Amino acid sequence: MNAKEYVAELERLQVELAKLQSWVQSSGARIVVLFEGRDAAGKGGAIKRITERMNPRVCKVVALAAPNEQERAQWYFQRYVANLPSAGQIVLFDRSWYNRAGVERVMGFCTEDELREFLRSCPEFERMLIRAGIQLVKYWFSVSDEEQERRLQSRLADPTRRWKLSALDLEARARWVEYSQAKDEMFLYTDTKQSPWFVVPSDDKRAARLNCIHHLLSIIPYVDLDPPVPGDLAPRPVGTGYVRPPLEEQTYVPAVYS
């Protein structure tokens, strides 16, 4: 797919996302979408394209930092529950409670008992969310070893993206097999009929983004509510007597570019 074809299809899908947003607001639906996968697998790029034309008050992105001391003493799922959607909202988790089965496990940030408890309780937690009326969608972005290495190297060379390459990412780079084993066991416990994992092959970023958005739209039963079109707005009132203050009394940003 060339760039022109990609942009055209992305714009078409983003129109559908706008329709989905209107339906979510009108219906009071609550939708949670999890984005998981290896570093540089393309999760952030997909999230950005989903939210690009959407209202951030309706479609929110949650990307939690490492838990602080107080949060580590809480029930594991507690800080994620605090970020679940209210009626009429979509929440996209850029990494989620599955941190425990991935990075925390591989890097030794949790104990074996904590991991085993997570694997037992996670399916029950997700069933509870679904029974409460939340639609839960889980995506795993799958990238090859070679493509991940190419992307990590490109981040290192790009000053605008170097912030995306943390010390933890560099450590994880050397633990490909451990992450693979962790992911396989995580799927064994949590890829359930009620809450399945949807795998997105992501070596081709453009295709991965489009396939993910298309799939998300296909599994949510939204309808086009026919929003207002230009020309439907009532005439603006005139003759209010308002007089604008002199413009020279205001402080302007210097016109470095014009």
Q: Give the 3-state secondary structure of 140-167.
A: EEECCHHHHHHHHHHHHHCCCCHHHCCH
pLDDT higher than threshold 90 for residue 101: yes
Tokens of 125: 């937690």
By percentage, how much of the chain surpasses pLDDT 90? 84
As for how many domains the chain has, the answer is 1
What integer pLDDT is reported at residue 167 of this predicted model? 81
Distances (CA, A) of 203 to 28, 150, 171, 177, 245: 36, 10, 21, 18, 56
What integer pLDDT is reported at residue 169 of this predicted model? 81
Q: Which residue stretches of 109-144 are H helix?
A: 112-131
Q: Is residue 258 part of a domain?
A: no
What integer pLDDT is reported at residue 227 of this predicted model? 66
Q: Is residue 180 part of a domain?
A: yes
What integer pLDDT is reported at residue 240 of this predicted model? 76
Q: Is residue 135 part of a domain?
A: yes
Predicted structure pTM score = 0.92
Domain of 72 in residue numbering reads as: 3-249
Q: How far apart are CA 117 and CA 241, in angstroms?
A: 68
pLDDT of 203-257, one tens digit each?
Answer: 999 999 999 999 999 999 999 997 667 777 778 788 778 888 999 999 999 999 9
Q: Is residue 255 part of a domain?
A: no
pLDDT higher than threshold 80 for residue 45: yes
pLDDT of 154-179, one tens digit each?
Answer: 998 999 988 888 888 888 888 999 99
Distances (CA, A) of 81 to 25, 33, 219, 240: 21, 14, 23, 49
Q: Is residue 138 part of a domain?
A: yes
Q: Amino acid letter at 151?
A: R
pLDDT class of 33 with cuts at 50, 70, 90: very high
> Could you tell me if 172 and 179 are in contact, meaning their C-beta atoms sit under 8 angstroms apart?
yes
Q: Is residue 49 part of a domain?
A: yes
Q: Is residue 210 part of a domain?
A: yes
The residue-averaged pLDDT of 83-101 equals: 98
* CATH number of residue 144's parent domain: 3.40.50.300
